[in-house]
Chain A
């Protein structure tokens, strides 16, 4: 099944990556189309970053087939990378250079003429709201500003495809929202985004379509809404019990509420009862004489999908 190269930005078939005896990616099929925001969701160690490094045409493919922008990374690495923007998990900015020089020098690596890079740098500083920091040293920037600078740097060559590896890890909530806003604008401008994240809210905010990865394999694929609809219920009732009061453990309580929802998950500190109507679950729990110390009814999220598919939570 040859993918249509005019719209296919990334196409992988049976893609594998091993390091010695360790297999980080165990054969995945992925198609990313032009203009969409595509996510790799999974816990640390799921194989997301290894996949990203192969897609970035930096890390050689161990087995399987990979085409990026219709080209083979083993043969056309430089040509592929000239059309990619890469925002790595760890900032790789030059701390001793100022903000402007970081962007300028990076543009020169792509062979862009000096004048064009200078214009592009001003444009990008404006876009990531760092114009007034242009002459500041990178060392003196906040974490969120450094992240925005890294994103600006990844855009210097006007990429067709932007790869973002854990773009908001380690940022405070406000900085994350500023960043999401910038990424959303890029998406609206037609840039294809590929994002890895272990934050379900990030995936829900940004991704049109995503794959859930676990232990080197893809365990589910679809839009955030479809995945939630397919693998979870509409609502979740979270019940937290005082452990001593209710028979010694959440497992013991779980048996008493098992029939109230489609499914019950036992977490170390609480029970999750999956049901179309969370309020009803709470009411019936109280009717049975059980006394949770705290209750919360919420909509299902990708976190619940992940829990269902892997039996584990995303962020340990």
Chain B
């Protein structure tokens, strides 16, 4: 058979030309991989992404919230605990989704299945791999947060028609900020045992104490300022201000700036981590 030297239309050259492959071209070439990979896992991710947070909303927002007085002065402007907790909960859930997608799955691509190794034998380069993986995380965040928002909108937790859209943007941005940071962390890990520490000492305390479930003012003078330094608080606060139509614009600007800066930092941290790991 003309296994090799017969010249059909040849892959790669000359369309590729010399030098680096453009970032978006390299990312687009992996679309079929991520689509096929998602086709085999989406059922499981539907359950974990949509049902688990729904349980949270019912248990904490509706049932627990039934015991909490809906005082706007106490609840950063929310008229019910459900309205207070939902925007924070979606932002916190975006963080968890992003962390989930950039820990074990990325370790699998690097170390267990070595899918990245096989990709690097083709014209693809490290930034393309990071870019496509983070684009997939972005897709997961967009779908998860959108469904979550759509399900809860009828419960009257949003104060304006535009609130859900801006809050949704804030939630996806929050997830992406974590995606880059955790991806870079995973790329530098030799063993998955450190994930346990990340979950117990990183994700879990952030989830509980970054203002998703109660106003951070309750943490005391020092505690509340520590909470305001965490990335998740910026996401929770931004998401909630938009959802409740209670926006302090300069603060929203700070929140966005912090989250965008973390995304940019995460990108470079991820690319340099994977480069060191796989291109030795």
**What is A's interface to B at a CB cutoff of 8 Å?**
19, 56, 58-60, 71, 75-79, 81-86, 88, 90, 92-97, 101, 104-113, 116, 123, 126-127, 153-160, 162, 185-186, 189-191
Residue contact A82 to B7, C-beta cutoff 8 Å: no
Assuming A88-B117, A157-B12, is B4 touching A109 (CB within 8 A)? Answer: no
Give every chain A residue within 8 A of B113 (Cβ-Cβ): 92, 94-95
Give every chain A residue within 8 A of B279 (Cβ-Cβ): 58-60
A96 to chain B, nearest CB (A): 6
Residue contact A159 to B121, C-beta cutoff 8 Å: no
Docked Cα-Cα span, A113 to B8, in Å, equals: 12
Residue contact B18 to A189, C-beta cutoff 8 Å: no
Give every chain A residue within 8 A of B2 (Cβ-Cβ): 189
**What is B's interface to A at a CB cutoff of 8 Å?**
1-13, 15-21, 25, 29-33, 36-37, 40, 113-115, 117-125, 279-280
Closest chain B residue to A84, Cβ basis = B121
Residue contact B121 to A75, C-beta cutoff 8 Å: no
Residue contact A78 to B16, C-beta cutoff 8 Å: yes
B144 to chain A, nearest CB (A): 22
Give every chain A residue within 8 A of B3 (Cβ-Cβ): 127, 155, 158, 185-186, 189, 191
Residue contact B8 to A109, C-beta cutoff 8 Å: no
Assuming A110-B123, A186-B3, A189-B2, is B11 touching A157 (CB within 8 A)? Answer: yes
Docked Cα-Cα span, A116 to B4, in Å, equals: 14
Closest chain A residue to B5, Cβ basis = A190
Assuming A105-B36, A109-B29, is B1 touching A189 (CB within 8 A)? Answer: yes
Closest chain A residue to B121, Cβ basis = A86
Give every chain A residue within 8 A of B25 (Cβ-Cβ): 111
Give every chain B residue within 8 A of A108 (Cβ-Cβ): 29-33
Residue contact B17 to A158, C-beta cutoff 8 Å: no
Give every chain A residue within 8 A of B33 (Cβ-Cβ): 105, 108-109
Assuming A71-B18, A108-B33, A111-B16, is B122 touching A81 (CB within 8 A)? Answer: yes
Give every chain A residue within 8 A of B12 (Cβ-Cβ): 78-79, 81-83, 110-111, 157
Q: B19's contact among A76, A81, A123, by CB below 8 Å, is which?
A: A76
Q: A79's contact among B5, B13, B31, by CB below 8 Å, is which?
A: B13
Among the interface residues B15, B36, B117, which one has the most CB atoms of the partner chain A within 10 A?
B36
Docked Cα-Cα span, A21 to B5, in Å, equals: 41
Docked Cα-Cα span, A67 to B114, in Å, equals: 27
Docked Cα-Cα span, A252 to B239, in Å, equals: 85
Closest chain B residue to A53, Cβ basis = B280
Docked Cα-Cα span, A160 to B33, in Å, equals: 25
What are 8 A-B contacts with C-beta separation under 8 Å? A83-B10, A90-B114, A92-B114, A97-B37, A110-B11, A116-B9, A158-B3, A158-B7
Give every chain B residue within 8 A of A76 (Cβ-Cβ): 18-19
